[in-house]
Amino acid sequence: MEGFFQSYGEAAKTALGFFWKSGWAFVLGYFVSGMIQAFVPKKKLTQYMGKPDARSVSLSTLFGAASSSCSFAALAAARALVQKGAHFVAAVAFMFASTNLVIELGILITIFLGWQYLVAEVIGGLCLVAISTLLIRLTYPDSWMESARKRVEDDGEDISDEFDWKERIQSKEGWQLVGHKFVNDWKMAWEDILIGFTIAGFVAVLVPQSFWTTLFLADAEHLPRWLVLVENALVAPFVAASTFIGSMGNIPLATVLVGNGVLFAGVMGFIFSDLMVPPLVHVNAKYYGWKVALYIAGVMFVSVVTTALLLHGLFELMHIVPQTQKTVTQVVQFKIDYTFWLNLAFVGLAGWLVYQNRSYLRGHSMKMMSMPGGGRIKKVAVLLAIFINVVGLAVFAYTQFLS
């Protein structure tokens, strides 16, 4: 029993350590994202998304990279694009870009996995867009999509606004809008982050390495290497789906996979599969109907697996397969280093942005933007994660006191 409590306390500390290591990065990432959303006019982009051509897909990718990394927000924004006349191909490109090419995700990947994985994420994100575009154009079910378009309703948020960015960036109201976007992004993402970091912390401590080596055939020396690669790429999306969390919450768990010998193809397949979790498939079903939602999930699965295998083959051919030297223990260390000072500085920045948001809301009658979430199950998971972490930290403190 004593060993269980020690492991439980260590798992909670590890979960907190994940957030401690990346807290400043979240603030920086969402701050930059808020500035992009507030100061980059979008009307000129959305005018050119009505066709499944290279320009439309490129603009959708750019638009997505300049948006929020929240998976639920990505789906809602893509829905609004479709309603405003964007082609379905462009909407899918937007979804992939907004969850794989945004700055906050890049910062998080660099912290936990290293810059090599960041390069792979960018290249892979572009590959995902290209492959999914090709797949949809080859298999596009016109009758389904026409029916889905009729189901789409206005989201209520004008994402195609037009303004003079030079005037806005010099105005007090412009920076209040940045604060508003910052707080909205946090409101949409904090649950995924909490659940994801909790799962990662407890998995890192409680799940034995033998589980991962068995699941991803890490010790299957009798099997051909190509078969193990394919198996890793195929299994990874299902592992990601089982976590029920989005891109930002998945990165710490990707660190656990790397530390347990999962191949590069499996790790990247896991990271890219954030849009395939059941709550997001369910949201798409609400928007477009189950046929289209499952079609989107199928396109994403094939795109993710293909991209993961192509990335692994390309990086191996060039002898640049990422080899991160970071371990979970190293990542979650608590000490007075650059992380401490950055967290301290960015807490101040976050406070200023929250103040700007309050000023923005005082001058506008609109309410905080709401996004579809995971429903009651997700709310229960959030409450459970909070309870588990609070109790776990108390247990950790108690065991440290006894020792």
pLDDT of residue 156: 44
Rg for the chain, CA atoms, rounded: 21
Q: Answer yes or no: are the C-beta atoms of 195 and 244 closer than 8 Å.
A: yes
Residue count (the chain)? 403
How do the pLDDT tens digits run along the chain, 403 residues long?
A: 667 888 898 888 888 887 887 788 778 877 877 887 788 776 666 677 778 888 888 888 888 887 765 676 677 777 777 776 778 888 888 888 888 887 778 888 888 888 889 999 999 999 999 999 999 988 887 777 777 767 765 444 444 466 777 888 999 999 999 999 889 878 877 887 788 788 878 887 888 888 988 998 888 778 898 899 999 999 999 988 887 666 666 788 888 888 888 899 999 999 998 888 787 787 788 778 888 889 989 999 999 999 999 999 999 998 888 876 556 666 666 777 777 888 899 999 999 999 999 999 987 765 555 555 556 777 888 899 899 999 998 988 888 887 6
Q: What is the dihedral of CA 104, 107, 108, 112, to 10 degrees?
A: 180
pLDDT of residue 155: 43
Residues 6+ apart with CB under 8 A from 350: 27, 182
Q: In whole angstroms, what is the distance from residue 15 CA to residue 331 CA? A: 11
What the block records as the tokens of 184 is: 């909205």
Q: In whole angstroms, what is the distance from residue 81 CA to residue 90 CA? A: 9
What the block records as the tokens of 366 is: 């609109």
Report DSSP state, residue 86: -
> Distances in Å between the alpha carbon of 86 and those of 51, 64, 100, 198?
7, 13, 20, 37
What the block records as the tokens of 174 is: 């412009």
Q: In whole angstroms, what is the distance from residue 360 CA to residue 193 CA? A: 26
The string of DSSP codes covering 166-197 is HHHHTSHHHHHHHHHHHHHHHHHHHHHHHHHH
